[in-house]
Amino acid sequence: MGNENPAEKALNLIRGRLCDPTFVFRPLSASSDSNYSKLKFIVSTSVTEGCNNSILLLGPRGSGKAAVLDLVVGDLMEEYPDSVTLISLNGLLHSEDNCAFKEIARQLCMEHHLLFSKMASFDENSQFIIAMLRECGLAHKTIIFVLDEFDMFAQASYSRGKQRLLYSLLDAMQSVTSQAVVVGISSRLDADQLLEKRVRSRFSHRKILFLPPSREEIDSLLEHLLSLPADSSFPSGYVSQFNEKIKNITSDTRFKDMLKTFLNANSTVNSLLKFIFRAVSSMNLESGLLSLENFKTALSSMQRQPKLEAVRADCSILELYLLVCMRRLEVKEQSSYNFISVMKEYKTIHDSFQTSDFYAQNVCLRAFEHLREREVICYAENRGQSQAGEYRSMKLLISASELHQGMRSHACCPAILLKLLDH
């Protein structure tokens, strides 16, 4: 009781919001220029005026294409109940023509409460679909075909490049008797170049591009997601405190820098949601407020470099020596090297710099094996299994900069090693 409950409730509320695409994309529907309104305009004119249309949604994965489409379809189903039928296909599952026609027939049967027989042949399915399209056209009901992974439909190899499903659907758009919309979703920007010229001619070339959100949109999105509502279920002092803290964090320059570093690598809405989710999940339940540290931990957990951590946390000094020797051999343009040549280099270093860490060969071999288990190094090729491990050629699986960084942040790396690496 006491302070725990509001914090937990707030956490649950925010996490629920982040996982619900409808909530996330709802504020975008307010502006008249957004993708939501463009899509809604096109689909709703088809529903109200009965003209057919085809449209393509393009954008990188996780930019909210399917979410916005769901929003639009949901809104239309509320506004015009009984006038909209939704048929969804996925290019990963239904790219073969037989499969696709069967699935369309099955979904049509389900929507209109008819009996579907699995034994129906391809001919019967296609006749049924044509008849249904005509009937729905006469009854002024619009069918919305959603083709997810649209480029898969265009690239199906079994149909010998003939794209029969796309042709039949888009051809149906050209006739007066049917009332339908075909919406394709794809992450490939040149999806319409993959279409055959017949199919491309029937496609109406409308494309909606889903670009990453701008700075203002991100700021408003953050506020929308993280501010608690002035609900009666939360103690009012807590709500204002929480929202005040959020405002402080988002206007902090350190937070802005952090956000900029994050967005420089990955700018889709989905990755931003994941970032915020991690930050919110590490909220301190005692204080019940978010802090800058939460976001910092989230950022570092999303930008992990596993091999660097292997070097920094796990490697002993001897192993570091071996890695530096391998790197030096690489720099000297020795394209393939094995354990024996690494040992030679190790001995040369010891001779020239009189280091204190000089170990016998069998100890070094064990260190080598350890490195290989951690997958920091590996055998260069899979042949020559019969040879002893010492004579097989090896290669590094970690880049020079990662090695450098790992060594610099290592707890007790000797300075001479860094000098040897830089050389």
Interaction residues for other proteins, span 76-95 (CB under 8 A): 82
Nearest one of 107, 197, 198 to 147, comparing CA atoms:
107
Region binding other proteins by CB under 8 A among candidate stretches 200-208, 274-282, 325-333, 347-355:
200-208
Q: How far is the CB of 121 from other proteins (least distance, A)?
A: 8
State the DSSP code for 356. Answer: S
Helix, strand, or coil here: 88?
strand
Alpha carbon distances (Å) from 239 to 25, 119, 150, 226, 283: 23, 60, 45, 11, 15
Considering just the CA atoms, what is the radius of gyration of the chain in Å? 30
* Total of chain residues touching other proteins, rule CB under 8 A: 77
Nearer to other proteins, 36 or 346 (CB): 36
Does position 190 interact with other proteins (CB under 8 A)? The reply is yes
In whole angstroms, the minimum distance from the beta carbon of 34 to other proteins comes to 12
In whole angstroms, what separates CA 323 from the centre of its chain? 34
DSSP line for 229-257: P--SSS-HHHHHHHHHHHHHHHH-HHHHH
Question: Please, what is the minimum distance in Å from the beta carbon of residue 382 to other proteins?
Answer: 10
User: Do the Cβ atoms of 31 and 242 come closer than 8 Å?
Assistant: no
Q: Which of 73, 105 has the CB closer to other proteins?
A: 105
Q: Which is nearer to other proteins, 149 or 239 (CB)?
A: 149
Cβ at position 179, least distance to other proteins in Å: 10
Q: Which of residues 312-351 bind other proteins (CB under 8 A)?
A: none
At its nearest, how many Å lie between other proteins and the CB of residue 310?
12
Nearer to other proteins, 48 or 297 (CB): 48
Answer for the pair 184, 54: CB distance below 8 angstroms, yes or no.
yes
Surface-to-core class of residue 276, CB atoms within 10 Å of its CB (0-12 exposed, 13-18 middle, 19+ buried): buried
Helix (H) or strand (E) holding 57: strand 53-58
* Binding positions for other proteins, 94-133, rule CB under 8 A: 105, 109, 112-117, 119-124, 126-128, 131-132
Task: Report CA-CA distances (Å) from 346 to 127, 218, 230.
Answer: 77, 53, 67
Among 15, 162, 278, 374, binds other proteins (CB under 8 A): 162
* Residues 378-407 within binding reach of other proteins (CB under 8 A): 399, 401-402
Minimum separation from the CB atom of position 124 to other proteins (A) = 6
Contact of 191 with 151, CB cutoff 8 Å: yes
Hey, which residues between 39 and 78 contact other proteins (CB under 8 A)? 41-42, 45, 49, 51-52, 58-61
Task: State CA 51 to chain mean position distance.
Answer: 35
**Nearest distance from C-beta of residue 169 to other proteins, angstroms:** 11
| Distance of alpha carbon 105 from alpha carbon 385, whole angstroms | 56
The stretch among 37-45, 85-93, 250-258, 332-340 that binds other proteins (CB under 8 A) is 37-45
Cα separation of 222 and 260, whole Å? 14
Work out how close the CB of 241 gets to other proteins at its nearest, in angstroms, rounded to a whole number: 34
Contacting other proteins (CB under 8 A), which of 34, 220, 250, 266?
266
Work out how close the CB of 83 gets to other proteins at its nearest, in angstroms, rounded to a whole number. 9
Kindly state whether residue 296 participates in binding other proteins, applying the rule CB under 8 A: no
Taking CB under 8 A as the binding criterion, the range among 187-195, 229-237, 292-300, 367-375 that sits at the site for other proteins is 187-195
Its sign, for the CA torsion 322, 328, 330, 336, is negative
Residues of this chain, 212-231, that bind other proteins according to CB under 8 A: 212
Candidate residues 17, 102, 307, 328; the one interacting with other proteins per rule CB under 8 A: 307
